[in-house]
A and B are shown apart, each in its own frame.
Chain A
Amino acid sequence: MANVKKSSTLSKDSNRIAKWIDYRLPILSFLKAEAVDYPTPRNLNYWWNFGSLAGITLVIMILTGIWLAMHYTPHTAHAFESVERIMRDVNYGWLLRYIHMNGASMFFIVVYVHMFRGLFYGSYKKPRELLWIFGVLILLLMMATAFMGYVLPWGQMSFWGATVITNLFSAIPLVGDSIVTLLWGGFSVDNPTLNRFFALHYLFPFLIVGLVFLHLVALHTHGSNNPTGVEAKKPSDKIPFHPYYTVKDILGLVIFLTIWGAFVFFAPNFFGEPDNYIPADPLVTPPHIVPEWYFLPFYAILRSIPDKLGGVVLMFSAVFVMFIIPWLDTSPVRSGRYRPLYKIAYVFFLVACVALGWAGAQEAEGVPLLVSRLATAYYFAFFLILMPVLGFIEKPLPVPESLQESKRKKGAGR
């Protein structure tokens, strides 16, 4: 909030060296203002933990990735074996690789929850439109990064997944085939493809870091939204980030690491496909080509349309429609808590996304195809019809005056 004093200085008793540095480069007082004193709504619930979890996951992915890259060989003849060398001969290589591999899934779980949170509490609404847009850009880059990362071990799914997905671009009229040639660096998925995917897989996470920075600057300009969707007005509505949210974020982090660790140590291939432990063979098509689970909803949308170009356009629209959500939602009320009709529409939207994920893993025929068509229709209707229309016809519940009031009321109710 603009009227809460944000610029802080180092306290009087801080270290002389710290003061010397801060006088010349105010990085310490900046950190103090943005990470310690930073005024935060007092009523954030646990859904607000997922942003910090995503940030930490990104850091862990980058660190494990850099160490993997020290042992990995981006060549079609050596990639598979170099990954197995990491698993067998590099000290704790199996640990690095399993953290990185399961980390991709954890990252998507965290980011999807983070987005669903924003969608429910109206966190994309004025003045946080750009904040939301940076988020969608991060999602796009994450998808590209994960897709190219999956190609690196050069197993059967790596190869055939890359073949199927890059081929989608050939549906684009006129320039499609040229785009595909450019992606491949030749006339089929081959060594040049693997090389450029590795280069870009190394680059993109750092672009994501840049976007995360912008995302945070935008966040700290107006502060966090909160479960009521009411802007904090009184100073008593806000509390300093430290110690309240630092402890809460650490609590969330430790629980999250426990779950991530359970997969790494006890079910490291839970999210994977056995076929990716077979070296890539351009002459043998595996019986089921399925993308990683986090792409399944989009894959289902793609296959719900009998026309190739139509399917591709729809699949990309499913992500791009998120850019305009801030302008599709016409409701004067921010939080879904006080929007009875939106709440229902939102629950069905969740169901539709899960249904799409399920259908994406099935063969595109019969019941799964029908389900994916219905769910695709609802997916777009939710954004393009329900969001604008509900704002006009819905009668919102009374919204609390201040955050402290909402907190007390909830406490009294319990």
Chain B
Amino acid sequence: MRSFFLYLVFLTVPSLAMEGTAPLKTVDWSFNGIFGTFDRASLQRGFQVYKEVCASCHSMKLLSYRNLEGIGYTPNQVKAIAQTYEVQDGPNDDGEMFMRPGKPKDRFFQPYANDQAARAANNGALPPDLSLITKAREGGADYVYSLLTGYAEAPVNEKPMVGLYYNPYFSAHWIAMIPPLSDDMIEYQDGTPATVDQMAQDVTTFLAWASEPEIEVRKQWGFRIIIFLFIFSIVMFFINARIWARLEK
């Protein structure tokens, strides 16, 4: 019986799907295309935005501080970043847990002890982990960028919702995340003006890297291997033609 109910659920679920969302804003990301690479300066600014803004609500459980070498920090810089966090370790020889400064091998600091605590602090909504966010949403980086810059005055036909903010890019149009970015809320270390648009682009670049840190190597390899296979195909084409020509005689 219960399974029959589930069956009904899956038949009806698609028809309950949301009415359309706004078409995404598209950005010409440096990591798009066959030769795409990450803009290191943008990655580091993006990490700063994540660290100073998003990290108070969103975890990135799949990343460790050592991974930051991938965005151009030196091992010493990574060590310094990790040390600014207090991490629980243990048990020690006395069987006690203890706090120590973070090390590069530690996972990113998590803002909440568990999902329940996260929900309790956010009006019942769970801020999703951001480690894979650009892979886990239709539209990828463009979606995240559109969402971050897409908060707007709700049109009159949308019923206002308490504790939610209007954002036409979000599937339900009303999102529990307060608009996280505002002009000059942080001061970039490299002096770039911290406009909402700039911060949104930078943090999205950082999140895209976090989701697919292999992108640059993958595309470099891909380029070489595809060229190799392509030439190999042409060679085989001629060898094949030559061998089959023997039959015509």
Contacts and interface: CB of A to CB of B under 8 A. Distances in A.
A258 B236 CA distance: 13
Interface stretch (A27-35, A52-60, A220-228, A282-290): A282-290
B81 to A, nearest CB: 19
Given A239-B247, A274-B137, A308 B218 contact: no
Interface in B1-29: 3-4, 6-7, 9-11, 13-18
Interface string B135-164: 111101000000000000000000000000
Contacts, number: 112
Interface in B82-115: none
A289 B13 contact: yes
B190 interface: no
A275 B135 CA distance: 8
A261 B229 contact: yes
B38 to A, nearest CB: 16
B62 A84 contact: yes
* Interface-centre pick from A94, A251, A262 (highest chain B CB count, 10 A): A251
Given A164-B10, A239-B247, A261-B222, A170 B3 contact: yes
A147 to B, nearest CB: 16
A168 B7 CA distance: 8
Nearest to B239: A247
B189 interface: no
Q: Is the interface of B mostly helix, strand, loop or mixed?
A: helix
Interface residues of A, number: 48
B213 interface: yes
B117 to A, nearest CB: 17
Interface string A88-119: 10000011001000000000000000000000
Contact of A42 (B3, B229, B247): B247
A278 B6 CA distance: 21
Interface string B60-83: 001000010000000000000000
A258 B227 CA distance: 9
Interface string B204-234: 0000000101100011011101100110110
B4 to A, nearest CB: 7
A14 to B, nearest CB: 23
A288 B7 contact: no
A42 B214 CA distance: 46
A94 B216 CA distance: 12
Contacts of B13: 285, 287-289
A210 B198 CA distance: 58
A250 B137 CA distance: 39
B136 A275 contact: yes
B218 A94 contact: yes
A394 interface: no
Contact of B62 (A88, A269, A288, A363): A88
Nearest to A81: B62
A363 B18 CA distance: 13
A84 B232 CA distance: 33
Most chain A CB inside 10 Å of its own CB: which residue of B67, B140, B244: B244
Contacts of B16: 287
Q: Which 3 A-B pairs have the closest CB atoms?
A: A265-B222, A277-B136, A363-B14
12 contacts: A88-B62, A88-B67, A180-B3, A243-B243, A247-B240, A254-B236, A262-B226, A266-B222, A274-B138, A277-B211, A285-B9, A288-B14
Given A170-B4, A251-B237, 19 more contacts: A88-B213, A94-B214, A94-B218, A163-B6, A167-B3, A177-B3, A251-B239, A258-B233, A261-B225, A261-B229, A264-B222, A266-B219, A274-B135, A287-B171, A288-B13, A288-B17, A289-B13, A308-B7, A363-B14
